[in-house]
Amino acid sequence: MFSRRNIVTAMAALAVTATSAIPAFALDRRVRIVNDTGYVLVEFYGSNKGSTSWEEDILGPDVLRSGQSVMVNFDDGTGYCMFDFKAVFDDGDVLTRKGVNICEIGTYTYN
């Protein structure tokens, strides 16, 4: 038989578990992209792991000069946390990084 004390303890444990487990759709997907390369970042792409293309250039007509940063909200409604990044610089270099967990980082720096 369950005592009242056991039921209260079990309910408290459930409440702690329910509030400590944050669903993926509620996670913050904003990441500050920092350019510390000495070159101008002219294009930046971020696509979730389920995408088959790079989508559009997140910077659009803007650029990110060395020493500058921009806050990007990667929340595309899919619930994904894993993204691939592609940065194109004014000297022609292209840097690609696969599998960036945007739900766990707040800043991503190119240097």
Contacts of 2 (CB under 8 A, 6+ apart): none
Note the pTM of the prediction, 2 decimals.
0.75
- Which one of 1.20.120.350, 1.10.1040.10, 1.10.540.10, 2.60.40.2890 gives the CATH number of domain 24-110? 2.60.40.2890
**DSSP characters for 45-101?**
EEEETT-SS--S-TTTT--B-TT-EEEEE---SS---EEEEEEEETTS-EEEEEEEE
Cβ 86 vs Cβ 44: under 8 Å:
yes
Residue 8's SS3 state is: helix
| pLDDT tens digits, 16-59 | 444 444 444 558 899 999 999 999 999 999 999 989 999 899 99
DSSP 9: H
pLDDT at 26: 58
